[in-house]
Structure 1
């Protein structure tokens, strides 16, 4: 299960969305597109923030396709700079590894975003300028090193799947 939160900047929770993806599958892109396009909040979405480019193991997202099909810019957030050779080796266990790898490469360059008094995060983006993506990440990073929409989505997902979140209230 993937949980999405709708925020105004990093301060105001407006909604919660959810969808399902297959572990190590290939449906994350379509599931996210359907979730976004089926939401009553679609018209107010300014950007879609993803916690990494893979979900459910190695269900790799195509951020260009998400932007193309939803019209919503995409920012991928990573807590650490990814070990690309290691990821590529792991993907080679899948018969369609080249397509999955190409989705990662097509997501573009990885940029470091320094946050005041926090560890840096890394980002990729589509449908938005680097300057605007940086500003959105910084504005929405209010309580931890990661943007608030992602932090809150984690707390909600943990509470739903395990019965209790691990985060602090």
Structure 2
């Protein structure tokens, strides 16, 4: 993977949600190695649902892009325990997937049992994600937690070092998160029913 090439592209995926809504906003931002953003894509996922993987795959396929080198997710568990599976995203798109998180965790099993009692499918989906691996990010001088599919950890490290400019969050995810928040705020104000927010 030629990370050093200016045209190396990452599809950064982040979301914004409110628990009182039925839908979250997912934003995908195509970030180039030379710092240009050359694509923005949007989708919805169900808050508390199990359609995050489908939403991300569908967003990528609808983009009709053939120049994406890696998909980067701002967390595998989004939109109130809606689980995005990096392995399934990789299998269905053919694009390597890096999923990041930033905090220590003892696991989410107890929270899934609390908020979704008896939801065996959700529990199995979470457990199938496997363990996270610590990766040191030189520009941030800190570690992040990584789950990855279709890509070796040394490549993950190189990509994170190239895409991280300030703080822990890589630029593709930082921009995607800002887009998701802005779109969600607009819909909350102008068309809350589109998000399934009770009037």
TM-score range, shorter-chain basis?
Answer: 0.7 to 0.9
2:125 to 100, 103, 114: 103
Structure 2: tracts of 5 or more residues without a match: 1-24, 187-199
Residues 30-51 of structure 1, C-alpha deviation per residue, up to 9 Å, x if partnerless?
Answer: 111111111122x111111111
**CA distance in structure 1 between the aligned counterparts of 2:48 and 2:104, rounded to whole angstroms:** 21
> What displacement does 1:95 show?
5.0
Equivalences for 1:27-38 in 2 at 5 Å?
27-38=51-62
| Displaced runs of 4 or more, over 6 A | none
Partner of 1:94: 116
Partner of 2:182: 159
Query: How many aligned positions are there?
Result: 160
TM-score, length-normalised on structure 2? 0.74
Equivalences for 1:9-158 in 2 at 5 Å?
9=33, 11-41=35-65, 43-84=66-107, 87-92=108-113, 93-94=115-116, 97-116=119-138, 118=140, 119-158=142-181
- Are residue 8 (structure 1) and residue 32 (structure 2) matched? yes
TM-score, length-normalised on structure 1? 0.86
- Does the CA contact (< 8 Å) of 2:139 and 2:164 recur in 1? no
Structure with greater Cα Rg: 2
- Return the structure number with greater strand share: 2
- Does the CA contact (< 8 Å) of 1:49 and 1:74 recur in 2? yes
> What displacement does 1:117 show?
5.1
